[in-house]
Structure 1
Amino acid sequence: MNVWEATQARLQVVFRDFDNVILAFSGGKDSGVMYNAAIAYMREHNITKKITVLHLDYEGQYAATTDYVTEVMTSNLDIVDPVWICLPFAAACEVSMYQDHWKPWDPDKRDLWVRDLPDVPGVIHTGNVPEGFPAYDGVWDYTVQQQIAGWLHRRSGAERTAVLVGIRTQESHHRYAALHRKDRAEASMLDGRNWTSKKGDGVFNVYPIFDWVTEDIWTANATFGWSYNKLYDLFHLAGVPINDMRVASPFRGEGQESLKLYRVIEPETWAKLVGRVNGANFTAIYGGTSAMGAKDIKLPAGHTWKTYANFLLSTIEDDEIRAGYLRKFRTSARYWTVKGGALPKDAADELRASAPEGTEFLGEPADNRKRRVPYEVVRFRRYPDDISGVSDFSLIPTYKRLVITILRFDHSCKYMGFGQTKYEMTKRSAAVEKYREIL
């Protein structure tokens, strides 16, 4: 069975076992294929009950993305109910030291909006929010999407709702681990299917294309003649490799590499982005340099990486952002010096030659997680300042890695191996007061 046949089998389960279907549509290549595959299945099997296509609009994006979203949200309306969200939810901001999030469509910033509200059916904005709609102002985007899915589930009166999400495990180790963990509870899946995940009472996220690779996406588009976001054509002309093409909010970490392309592809949009969020221009210019933790970052004279990390933290004026870094660092320190962290066996073998005194190599992990390659648990006596000799530096816990995380404005600490939480920065003054003791 190839991935297309497997997806057809999964869609059969979806339309058989769920009485309400929502499709999360971002405007990118994966959600585009998910949309086209679902519509094709419905047409082939004469399914006439509408599905909801849910789109969270991040305001700041390429015109090509807006054009594609508009095409999708105004097509197939005999079997599609479009829900286009243009509300001031919180979106991650990794281009600024001063803010960990920004709010698209913030009515207080209307004069700075990158573009006008879309004028098509299905758009929900601050002027027409339906009764009973969940809280959204300043609420993180992932939380908003889940809450809207729950609201749509209740509104439909359905017994069971499937939220089709076009994500692929090739894109993220966290996604792979989340779907393949052997210790996942049966109650968190539908009938033991690892491509389903229960998110609420009667609501499941479903990942029908989780095992596709990038080449499968473009093979499907070419084979079936499906429409897609033409921004990818512009990326191709700009020399961006297919595995590096991202359609994401430009202020997220995933969108930083394409941020500089706005200046060439859409200079008018670029000018508005610069005025919309502090730090956009700086990141576009220096995002690939040592100024933001890339390439060969140099340690300032008279500093260790630990003292340099302390210095950088002292320059962050926002208490919540500083506390967020410290909270993640404290978790990392406890993990690697108390419990011990799992490294790929190849990295652990490289580490043996340069590991600090007292480092323990504790053998295979005792958990039941399914891993692609062999792993070994390593425990440090104290958190390392820096370690050389390991090919993938980002795998090893060091103060240098913390410095790079801060320089990249990586508020969710993905570079340190953390998955993003729904709301990273909460008010915890105790952590702020004690941060010098933690380091």
Structure 2
Amino acid sequence: MKKVYLSSNVFTAFIERLNFICRHFDHIIVSFSGGKDSGVMLELVHMYYQKENLKERGIKISVFYLDYEGNYRETQEYVQRCIGKFNDFDYYHVCLPISASCGISMFQSTWLPWDPENEELWLNEIPDGAIHLKNHKFDFFEVGMSDYDFQSKFCQWLHLKKRANRTAILVGIRTQESLNRYNAVTRTSTFSRFGTIPWSHKVSHNVFNFYPIYDWLFEDIWVANAKFNFDYNHLYDLYFQAGVPYKNMRVANPFHQCGVQSLKLYRVLEPNTWGKLVGRVNGANFASLYGDTKAMGYRGISLPDGHTWKSYVDFLLNTLPEEVRKIYVKKFKTSINYWLKSGGALPVSVVNQIKNSYFKFEILGTPKNNRRYKQKYEVVRFIEYPDDAPNKNFRLLPSYKRMCITILKNDTSCQYMGFSRTRDELQKKKEAIKKWNALL
């Protein structure tokens, strides 16, 4: 996306975006996670709500928090301070057994917070006033449904409950955090937007996500906290004191792949919680010890003596549970067939760099699709699937080494190799078998 320099600061830009949203929407859902970004957004929305008299204008504000069961004490206390803090807002603190991403175990691609069959293993108790399995009124809810599916259907359900004309879901993501978040607000398709607004995404009819702080930097969050004296999650103070890099200061599902590198901090910051985490999901202790090392695909990994990257892939596959191995084998075969038969699109600059290398390939011309490329691309078909690839363009090029790293990262969706995210294939299969057996 072309960089645009505004004459105003990010705070003014945020207010202008809220002005736009409130001109077109009569119901706003603040998606709250307990982290720094959504926390600042919640405070700013309340400030704006009071200043612009949104109550008199008939604009309703709801706050939605999906509790993943395992949180630091500081996060729990901060969430409790925020839920119910502003009297004019409606709050939905949800503690339901939904399927959450698990990036630490070779035996399960997801885990189930608030699992009714393993209540004795819960990391925390359900807070007073929360929505749980025994008191929820969601006709769409199913035990084990994915968290993303739940969030989408919940917002649609709330839109109907509030009898809103249009519902805007404010999501506190910033493009500085990751490439995926950058892509979320730079997509070229106008079909999935609200009008021509790039920082929006259609959820369903008259329900849209908006990312009003997408261009804020890490520093902007803390300037706002200091300038307006906002409350915040003091876990970030502990992170800072522990020397955690800014990019790793995350508040999320404790077993999510993005938090693997900082999982070990539970041992230091909250030993009691850590003891529960070890018994909650297979692989937690291993991930805490090796989460930021080459053992799990982080930093540079080296090839064991006597192996090629291809033979190392076979070795790693043989160490996996059968069902997990099948997932990888299927996707690895897809990658091999794709690059050796139809070919894949690569930037011309990358193609020129590998022309004088050991790679054996042929150029098939420009891509024949409707995708809008920001630079020149050529379709390349490899004669042999590469064992390794130049470090500079490693993620773009196919290689058996890339497969090894994918396995070590426990990336069953193979996003590291460029595959789109799948919806918990392994866990869904297990749940389907479990339900079927229950009927027998």
TM-score normalised over the length of structure 1: 0.87
TM-fit CA distance, 1:348: 4.8
Which residue is 2:62 aligned to?
52
Take 1:423 and 1:389, find their aligned partners in 2: how far apart are those partners? 32
Q: Is the 8 A contact 1:347 1:390 kept in 2?
A: no
Q: 2:275 aligns with which of 271, 277, 287?
A: 271
**Which structure 2 residues correspond to residues 97-136 of structure 1 after superposition, within 5 A?**
97-119=106-128, 121=129, 123-130=130-137, 132-136=138-142
TM-aligned CA distance change 1:336 to 1:414, over 3 Å: same
Q: Is the 8 A contact 2:340 2:385 kept in 1?
A: no
Which residue is 1:10 aligned to?
17
TM-score normalised over the length of structure 2: 0.87
> Considering only aligned residues, what root-mean-square deviation do their CA atoms show, in Å?
2.6
TM-fit CA distance, 1:343: 4.7
**Which structure 2 residues correspond to residues 132-151 of structure 1 after superposition, within 5 A?**
132-151=138-157
Deviates more, 1:347-356 or 1:403-412: 347-356
TM-fit CA distance, 1:11: 0.8
TM-aligned CA distance change 1:207 to 1:295, over 3 Å: closer
Q: Is the 8 A contact 2:194 2:202 kept in 1?
A: yes
Please list every run of 5 or more consecutive structure 1 residues that lacks an aligned counterpart in the other structure. 430-439
Take 2:322 and 2:122, find their aligned partners in 1: how far apart are those partners? 25
Which residue is 2:408 aligned to?
407
SS at match of 1:175: helix
Please list every run of 5 or more consecutive structure 2 residues that lacks an aligned counterpart in the other structure. 1-7, 431-440
Which residue is 2:26 aligned to?
19
Identical aligned residues as a percent: 46
How many residue pairs get matched?
420
After superposition, give the CA deviation of every residue in 1:108-141 in whole Å (9 maximum; x if it has no partner).
111111111112x3x11111111x4322311111
Q: 2:328 aligns with which of 317, 325, 328?
A: 325
Take 2:231 and 2:368, find their aligned partners in 1: how far apart are those partners? 45
Which residue is 1:35 aligned to?
42
TM-aligned CA distance change 1:370 to 1:82, over 3 Å: farther
Q: Is the 8 A contact 1:342 1:376 kept in 2?
A: yes
Take 2:61 and 2:109, find their aligned partners in 1: how far apart are those partners? 34
TM-aligned CA distance change 1:278 to 1:129, over 3 Å: same
After superposition, give the CA deviation of every residue in 1:248-283 in whole Å (9 maximum; x if it has no partner).
212111111110111111111111100111100011
Which residue is 2:207 aligned to?
203
Which residue is 2:317 aligned to?
313
SS at match of 1:124: coil
Which residue is 1:241 aligned to?
245
Q: Is the 8 A contact 2:309 2:388 kept in 1?
A: no
TM-aligned CA distance change 1:68 to 1:361, over 3 Å: farther
SS at match of 1:164: strand
TM-fit CA distance, 1:410: 1.6
State the AA in 2 paired with 1:246.
Answer: R
Which residue is 2:392 aligned to?
391
* 1:351 pairs with 2:348: no
State the AA in 1 paired with 2:146.
Answer: W
TM-fit CA distance, 1:216: 2.0
Deviates more, 1:5-14 or 1:341-350: 341-350
Q: Is the 8 A contact 1:323 1:425 kept in 2?
A: no
State the AA in 1 paired with 2:36.
Answer: K
After superposition, give the CA deviation of every residue in 1:302-335 in whole Å (9 maximum; x if it has no partner).
443223323323333252x334334443443455
Q: 1:185 aligns with which of 184, 187, 190?
A: 190
* 1:67 pairs with 2:77: yes
Q: Is the 8 A contact 1:333 1:383 kept in 2?
A: no
TM-fit CA distance, 1:36: 1.7
State the AA in 2 paired with 1:386.
Answer: D
State the AA in 2 paired with 1:235.
Answer: Y
State the AA in 1 paired with 2:47.
Answer: A
Take 2:287 and 2:367, find their aligned partners in 1: how far apart are those partners? 40
